[in-house]
Amino acid sequence: MNIAVYGFMGVGKTTIGVLLAERLGYSFLDMDAEIERREGTKINTIFNEKGEPYFRKLESDLVQSLTKNDEQVIACGGGTVANRDNAEALSMVARMFYLTASITEIINRTKDDSTRPLLDVDDPRNTALLLFEKRKPIYERYAEVTIDTTGLAPNVVVDKILEELR
């Protein structure tokens, strides 16, 4: 069994994914980091030089390759599950854990992070809110479990996931 942790940027997918994989004895894969490794460059550079559609294609290709593995925790990029084909493919091979947080928490967690190309705009709060609202219905559709990470320490979130897995 694989476990996918997904949600909007800044909800703690990578941090929680690493801790969860350690506790389960699973391998861990951060999709954004894997795309950067495969492409030999940062996501910002991919967005700037080749565009978001190219990045989304890389993301979908990676999802298809992940369906062949087992006993791994996958930290999905924020847009991965917003694509229905990706969400369907992941839900066939992984337990789906939707991590969420308040928009204020998301902005606070991401405000000093220059590696988020979709928030590299004049009004990141409004952009984040619009994008969050657009993605939320599909995030919710594929969630087996939803966990609000607002104000929670990562280990508390991991404990909640482990409880759901029992």
Nearest to 13 by CA among 97, 135, 121, 89: 97
**Amino acid making up residue 128:** A
Question: What integer pLDDT is reported at residue 104 of this predicted model?
Answer: 84
Query: Is residue 38 in some structural domain?
Result: yes
Q: Give the residues across from 114 on adjacent strands.
A: none
What is the span of the domain harbouring residue 129?
Answer: 2-151
Q: Tell me the pLDDT of the chain (166 aa) as tens digits.
A: 899 999 988 899 999 999 999 999 999 999 999 999 999 999 989 988 999 899 999 999 999 998 777 899 999 988 899 899 999 999 999 999 999 998 888 878 777 666 655 566 677 677 778 888 899 999 999 999 999 999 999 999 999 999 999 9
Which CATH number belongs to the domain containing residue 33 in this structure?
A: 3.40.50.300
Query: Is residue 166 in some structural domain?
Result: no
Query: Is residue 116 in some structural domain?
Result: yes
The arrangement of strands across the sheet holding 2-7 comes to: 27-30, 72-75, 2-7, 94-100, 145-148
Query: Is residue 160 in some structural domain?
Result: no
Query: Exposure pattern of 59-89 as b/e (b: 16+ CB <10 Å)?
Result: beebbeebeeeeebbbbbbbbbbbbeebbeb
> Do 110 and 10 form a contact (C-beta atoms < 8 A)?
yes
Helices 43-50 and 52-66 pack at an angle, to 10 degrees, of 130
Query: Is residue 97 in some structural domain?
Result: yes
Question: What integer pLDDT is reported at residue 114 of this predicted model?
Answer: 61
State phi, psi for 150 to the nearest 5 degrees: -55, 120
- Cα–Cα distances in angstroms (integers) from residue 73 to residues 28, 69, 96, in the given order: 5, 10, 10
Question: What integer pLDDT is reported at residue 25 of this predicted model?
Answer: 97
Tokens for 42, please give them: 């940062």
Owner of token pair 């801790």: 19
Query: Is residue 94 in some structural domain?
Result: yes
pTM over 0.85: yes
Question: What integer pLDDT is reported at residue 109 of this predicted model?
Answer: 73
Owner of token pair 């219905």: 137
Helix (H, G, I), strand (E, B) or coil at 19: helix
In the chain, the number of structural domains is 1
